[in-house]
Amino acid sequence: MPMNRIVWHHSAGTYTPSDLDRQHYHRLIDGDGRLHDGLHAIADNAPGRSMAPGSYAAHTRELNTGSIGLAICAMAGADWGDPASWTHPVRPAQVSALIAETARLCGRYGIVATRRTILSHAEVEPTLGVWQRGKWDFDYSLTGGSTARDPVVVGDELRARVIEAVDYAPAAQDYPTRETIRQGSVGHFVRDAQAALGVTIDGMFGPKTRRAVVEFQARHELLPDGVVGPMTWAALL
Ligand SMILES: [Zn+2]
């Protein structure tokens, strides 16, 4: 059962999943970071399934087919313009649970983390071009870092954590077992990467190889950090 992407949401409810929340998302994360199943199976949103109203988890306008919906239960009645009024802000334990479940699902469904395959609801419009009626989950910092309110900046921070989590998850075995290489690395893994990148094959990961890796990552919508880890290996080979 192929699934194409994971879309992250906040429920705009309290810290406890409601029946309505459970209709709309496949997984819900309560205020203590515990995971709850929604009413619909992930398979109900698989490509090729009938999308009759009520027969699947409707979480993202015009983009439910092939999409797994994960929701953090939070942000009840939150006014976009007034963060001071947010009575149910997202908690760090909820973010950690979101990252862990996303990493697990990446392994289970063979989803490689890119901006187009793992994204927040607020990123759907800027990244995939599908209008979402002003949805803003998440254009605010969930990690205490940026206050830019740019959903892609927030998404990149979260995706970096997912990629790190996938590295250590058992699911990483689905990817070729090659060691992570970076500038300064030497040896046959570097030669393999250079061959795939089409640069001079000398087995030494220098600035030119790094530049080629960053360009490759940018082209494939991977985090352009110049490090060849499991995700970049999977895309390269
Ligand atoms: Zn949403």
pLDDT digits 0-9 by tens, 126-150:
999 999 999 999 998 886 655 678 9
Sequence ranges of the chain with CATH classification 3.40.80 = 5-172
Measured in Å, residue 59 CA sits from the centre of ligand 1 at 6
Architecture (CATH level 2) of domain 176-236: Orthogonal Bundle (1.10)
Concatenate the DSSP letters of all residues of 25-56 into one string: -SEEE-TTS-EEE-SS-GGGGSTTS---TTSS
Average pLDDT over residues 25-53: 93
Total residues found in the chain within this entry: 237
Q: Tokens 């009413």 appear where?
A: 39
Q: What is the pLDDT of residue 232?
A: 86
Average pLDDT over residues 86-109: 94
Measured in Å, residue 130 CA sits from the centre of ligand 1 at 13
Residue 102 exposed, middle or buried by CB count within 10 Å (0-12, 13-18, 19+) = buried
As a CATH number, domain 5-172 is: 3.40.80
Measured in Å, residue 235 CA sits from the centre of ligand 1 at 29
Measured in Å, residue 9 CA sits from the centre of ligand 1 at 4
Q: What is the pLDDT of residue 170?
A: 47
Protein residues near ligand 1, an ion, with CB under 5 A: 9, 121, 137
Q: What is the pLDDT of residue 73?
A: 97
In one letter, which amino acid is 69?
G
How big is the CA angle at 106 (ends 102 and 107), to the nearest 5 degrees?
125
Measured in Å, residue 188 CA sits from the centre of ligand 1 at 45
Q: Is 50 exceeded by the pLDDT of residue 173?
A: no
Average pLDDT over residues 116-134: 96
Out of 63-77, 83-97, 143-157, 163-177, which region has the weakest mean confidence (pLDDT)?
163-177
